[in-house]
Every structure is written in structure tokens, then in C-alpha cells.
Structure 1
């Protein structure tokens, strides 16, 4: 009995098929094992790690905390701050100090950092970490202090009281001082006055005022004719993109001399009329 051999090309094809089947059979358990293994890792990240702001404005960061473990984790939020600085963490608008995450869960954390009032102009490294019973997830933030905003509104002498006569007007010189190191922009002056009073300002708008500089503003205050004599308050307010300030004045209003004489004449006339009536009808 004789055995016929397969053609050589067919034998090569069968051999290649055998090798492929052997390879897939050997790697199938490995694929199944990789499928069951966790694909994610825990992490603490921020969208922006470097933010620049004025010393008197907060640094606001948006971070994400992810639990890639197979079990629920409670992460305590900790930080190392320069002396005098403050930090707060918020999740869904509520302030927190720790975050409870289920397996595979991610939560967004709003981080707000406030520098001390005397912080120097430079970059500060803020180390933050989320610590659980089994993991420590670090996050490094950078807060760049670029200067300060500030302003004061007063008069050159510091005197905040004036005297006016009813029905008159008076010019008051105000002094606006940029007490910070950063320029102020889009500044405007407004007023809060008793009913019927008026105030105008020159200039009423200031586009820019550099740090440490001062500018004079003329406020013209008008008091109605029939204003009753007495003490009143008038407040001038500075508003701008990065600052605000107020100057509260005490205004004493007195009646005019003419009004006083008219009042006296009316009283004298009334007394005269009463006297005449008494003389005329009192004899009957």
C-alpha cells in the first residue's frame, strides 16, 4: 500500500494554518486575563496648574479626582500653604475637606486659594494631595502673584464735610488715589443723594490710572430751593473693573438770608394782622 504525498504548495499552506491556530490558542487565555484586569489608574489632575492673579483676588483652579481602584475610597484633601494663605475645596457648590468616591468614579473639585495681603510679587508652588487609606495622589499648583489692586476716594485735605445754602450749588474737589501696584481701568463716579439733589462730575470717566498715581475730580453738588435746614449725607462711589471705593460726606444745609428775612416779614405781618383785629373787634 502506497502513501501519496500532498503537493508542496498545499503542505506549506496547511503548515501556516497550523501555526496560526497554535498561536491564537496560546494567546487566548492571556487576552481574557487582560480583559478582567483594571484598565484605569487613580489620579488627581487640574485643567490649569498655573494661574496669575492680583494679591487681593483669589486663585481659582478646577481639578478632577478619579478613583481607579476596585474598591470605594475616601480621599482627604491636604495642602501646604505659605504663611497667611488660605484654601478651600468645593464639590457641587458645597465646601468639603474630603471626597468619597466609588470604584471608577470621578468628581470635579473647585479649589480656591487666597494669598496673604503682604504676599510678594512672584510665583508660589502650592502642593496639594488627596490621601486615602491606600493611596496618596499628588497635585502641584502654581499661583503667580502679579501685584495688587486698591483705591481710595477722599479730598486733598481729608475733610469730608461741607456747608451749603438751600437753592445753591458747590464745587467739591475729590481726590482719587490708586493705592495698589497694578493699573486701574474703566473707572466711573456715581452718587447717592437725598431726593431732589443733583451731582455732576468732571471727569466722570477715567480710562486708566497707574499704580500709585492720583487724579482730581470736581464734583458739583446742587441743593433744591425748598430744602429744610439740617444735616444730610451724600455718598460718592468709585466703580471699576478691579476695585471700588466710597467717600461719605456730611452736608449741612442752611436757609438763605433772603428766605430768613421773608420769614421774619411774614411773622411780623401775621402779628400786625392779629393786633389790628384785636383793636378793631376787641372794643365791641
Structure 2
């Protein structure tokens, strides 16, 4: 009986040992298979894991996903981490993708990471992460670092050495400006300004004589230029802000200029039709219209009218006390002058000078006056001649046939 029990016990132990051995073998095989599958795993990589960028850049970065698991598989892919304000996605072929089929081995799968950098950005280092996942333990993450240095964060620059100048109306202002391209490639900049209406602004590269509307600047190079600013005639005194821009495909740069127009004064005397001559008769009053113009950029007040005439002549104006109360900057006033040559004036040409004057300035003009006298005896002679001719006609009619 004991032998039977011993035999059965041995069989049980053997069976138990066989089961344990079988389980251990199965476990080892499973572990071996899992290790082989996950040892190689997935690997994300790119040729340029660190890139310098500028605000507003749009980047296309090739990304490779390699499969070392021993068999082809489908992997979920995504942009798993992105700085605030940045935008990005993965593209495969012509599609935006979230999953990619990856063959085993070195061939792998190709993707493109599209990244849009915000237009407003401070200096520093920024990281974007791309992730791939095909099951537990079969995953990888690729960090890509984007560096923004001080030059790139500030883009290029467009500056003027002396951005504020002053002068009277009619002054031509010249500003010395410098345009710097901090980009990684040559750029073409269009040049423009927002000057007030009537103002003229032009750009001339340093060392050249030709005005330009655009300029090419190599990467990392600065270009000097002269910004010429011409205000319109008679511009009022005051401060004028002029912003000049340099615009390329990747950035817009600007520099702010200021022109201070100081007061300028001027008066001219003329006529509505610009004729500086008129006819007059001795002893009789003739009228001439004078145009008094304020050619400055400041309003003028209390403009007095004066004249320089030959002896015996007189002049008066249709203005009380020969005074013009005010003329605005750029404005004009018409005045009628009543000119009376002396009664003893003989026929001929005379010069009359008219002057408009105020505390700040004055203007004058010389007029040629053609004086004519009354021909009373000439009229009498004409009457005598007519009478004589009539008498002779009568005599010829009466005695002509005898």
C-alpha cells in the first residue's frame, strides 16, 4: 500500500514539475518575444533638431519614424507639445495625418512637421514635441528646439541718426537712415512713407544719385540711404510726423521722422491778371486793383498800404486808414487804388510804386503808368477842319459850273 502511494506521489511530482517547466518555457518564450518586439521599438528623428527662427516664420521640417520592432505596424502620431501661441501639424504626402504605416527596418516612414511661429516673440528657447505610439512600450518622442536670439526677435531695423529736424517753409530736409537685414537670406524691401498731402518724400541709397522705391539687402548687411523730405509751399508752421516703411516678404520695418516748420513771413503786391501797368489821365482819377498776398506760413495782421508817386500825384485806397486788418497764411486780399496824376502832367510813362508792410515783412511792386492829356484844341481844330471842308463843298456846288 505504501508503495502504491509512493508511486502515485512520484507521478504527481513529475507532472507538477512538467507543468512548471512548461509554464517556465512559455513564460521565457513570451518574454523573449516581447523583448524582441520592444527592444528596437520606434524611433523619431530629424536632421535639424535645433533651429534658429524669427517671429512670423513658417517652417517645414522633415521627420523620420523608424521601426525596429521586427514587423510592420501602424503608429499614432501627433504634435504632443507646442508653446503657447504657436501652431503646427504633421503632413504625410498631401494630407494632414494622425496615423502612419511604418515598415520594419531602415526604410521607415516620412512626415513633415509644419510650424507657424507667432509674429510677437521674445528672445529665448522654445520646444515642440512630436510623438509616435504603437502600443505599450512601443513609443517615442522627438523634441525639436527653436531658438530666438536678440537680433531675430527684433527682426531687422530701420533707423535714422537724427530723426527730428526743423526749418522754415520751403526748406528741403535730408535724413540719414540705415536699413539692416537680420534675416538668413537676401531680402527686397519696398520703401514708402505716409507723409501729409502735398509733401514729397524720396529715398536715395548712400553713394548713389538715383532715387529708388525698393532696395535689395543681403543677409546680415546694412544699407545706408538719404530720406529727402520737401514740404509744400506755404505750409503752416507746426510739427509734422512722417513714418517711413521698409517692407519685405517676411517683415515690415519702420522709422518715424519729425519735421518742425518754423514761422516764415512774406508779402507780395501784384494784380489779379499779373499786369503791372495801367493808363491814366492828367487831373483825372483812374482805378487799379492790387492783389496783396501773404506768401508765408503765419497769419499777418495790420498790413499798411503805401505808395511812391511823382510830384503832384495823389492816391487813396478803398480800405479804411489804408489798412488791411489781416491776411491768413497763403491768402490774399484785393485792394482798389484810386490814382490821380497831377493836372500839369504831360503825356508819357511814369513809375508808381505800391508797398504793403506789416511788423514782420513787406512787399512792393513798380507799375508803369501811361498818362494822356486832354486834347481840347485838337477837338477845336477838327471842328474847324470840318467847317472848312463844308464851306468849300458849298462853294464848289454853287460856282463850280461858271
TM-score with structure 1 length normalisation?
0.44
TM-score of the superposed pair, with normalisation by structure 2: 0.34
User: Which is bigger in relative contact order (C-alpha 8 A, separation at least 6)?
Assistant: 1
Higher CA-based Rg: 2
